[in-house]
Structure 1
């Protein structure tokens, strides 16, 4: 085999070195690129993991705050309920105390516009008679109201006692007694708010006792003096029905 010239050998050697160098650089570049991609990918995964952890922590904190807020709301509602219960209890206590004191000592009261001193036991006597009337024990009611009027002649409950006594007598068909009682009420307390109703019962008692003239006069007076009351409407119908 013939020997190559020295210059050719040098040229060939240089070409080989350049080729090897290029290969090495190319391989190094590819390895760096792969290394860089792995780092970026890892960084992205780490970031995602960190964000997921942070989001989870925030969600847990939100749920905890919601739970604490609900618990506080429950405590506030419970305190409000306790406050209402205390107010109701205090109100009941003072009402009960006032009632008990009223049973042992006189007190000033205004009943349907009539002021006066209520004696111990007075309110109970009135309430007992009224309860008897409401349950249909008319004779017992009349006796109770009559006894009340005798025992407490200056009571602020007296106009009501006379009013219910008159109605009890009327319901018991004691028309003469009802007329006398209601006329006494109307004369003594002409401005009392029960007067229109008292006059209506009076007119009915007069009508039932056969005194149509007196009944028509009473009904006409109700219509004239108290035109805007329910008693006036009833009186107008009753008056029109009288033959």
Structure 2
């Protein structure tokens, strides 16, 4: 039994040894295969690294070329802009020159216009003076000669009044009073000047002219007429109180005259 058991154990050990060698061979083969795979992987990885490095270098080179091209393009653009600035400055200078050239004729035209205007003004002034002189000459020629006597001058004023030329009548009576202040017809000239103012409805001035007759020529035959007409002028301006006073004075101081009688009648109707 012991021998058989021993033989059995030996056989088991032999089998176990065979099994272990077989397993070891399998492990060795697997190990070799792993090494082979690892080698291939390392080889492939090296190729990838080489390709990657080459691609990166290529990309960097392309980037550098593009950057160089961009720099060159930027430099060209800057040069073009500088050239445009120079051209623009030249154009501005030409425009300024053209402006000066255009302005010069305008200035000359303005100066010529001002000179012509001055000449035209001078001619107009001379023409105006000449026309005035001609008018004066024509007036002097058309103007009738001054009456030779004071009576003729007075009559001229009276004729103008009767023709309705009241301003001309006053102007003539004024000349008469200035030239002949001591003449007997002076009171009449004042009276008819008052009548002319009254006819022009310048009642205030008429009152003053009639007062000149009343005050400065008492006793003259024109005084009652002046008082009657002065009362009428006061009534025209609404001063009935003064009008009534003058009429009453006229009636009291000159009752026998035609004017005094008319004054009494008007006092009855004057309110």
State the TM-score, normalizing by the size of structure 2.
Answer: 0.44
Q: Which of structures 1 and 2 has the bigger CA Rg?
A: 2
Higher strand fraction: Structure 1 or Structure 2?
1
Which has the larger share of helix?
2
